[in-house]
Structure 1
Amino acid sequence: MKYKKHVFICTNTKEAGKKCCGEERGMALVQAFKDEIRNRGLQTQMRAQKTGCLDACNFGPALVVYPEGTYYGNVQLSDVTEIVEKHLLSNEPVKRLVLPY
């Protein structure tokens, strides 16, 4: 595998009135993760990118970290540094954000 950790952030949008991650900071989260990874010089070890629906709309904004397959929900911009430090660097999921999948 090329990357030790791969973060997929949902940026899906839906019809007006339906909850979706894209309208709930999806692209802002993508950029925040990319910035955090780049600022730490980790771009050859880790990658963050947008993805389509993760089927966790009610818990959005949602993302998943591989290779573990850990799903996170209700992720805020203020959570990005903690997820990078604890999960991506120390393999310790941020329990308060982990979805029960």
Structure 2
Amino acid sequence: MKYKKHVFVCTNVKPAPKKCCGEERGMALVNALKDELKEKGLNLEIRAQKAGCLDVCAFGPSMVVYPEGVFYGNVELSDIPEIVESHLVNDKVVERLVIA
């Protein structure tokens, strides 16, 4: 496997009145993840990128971490350092953000 972990962040945009991750800061989350990974020197082993709809719109902005398949919802920019340190570095899921 090329990457130890792969994070997909929904950046999909849907017409109103549906909630959509793209308009709720999807790309800002992608950029924050990439910046955090680069700052920690992890960008060669962990990949973060934008994705289309993850089909959990009600919980957006959302992301999924593979290979575990853990979905996070209602993610804020302030959650990114915790997700990186806890889950991506130390393999400890951030339970308060998990979509059941």
Q: Output the TM-score relative to the length of structure 2.
A: 0.98
**Cα deviation, residue 44, structure 1:** 1.1
1:37 aligned partner: 37
Match of residue 79 from structure 1: 79
> Partner residue of 1:63?
63
Corresponding residue for 2:6? Answer: 6
Q: CA RMSD in A?
A: 0.5
Tell me which protein shows more helix as a share of its residues.
Answer: 1
Q: Which runs of 5+ in 2 are unaligned?
A: none
- Count of aligned pairs: 100
Q: Which residue identity does 1:78 align to in structure 2?
A: S
Per-residue CA distance 1:5-31 (angstroms, 9 max, x = gap): 110000000012210000000000000
TM-score (norm 1): 0.97
How many percent identity over aligned positions? 67
**Is the partner of 1:22 in helix, strand or coil?**
coil
Q: Which residue of 1 aligns with 2:96?
A: 96
Read off the aligned partner of 2:61 and give its amino acid letter: P
Structure 1 unmatched runs, 5+ = none
Letter in 1 for 2:93: P
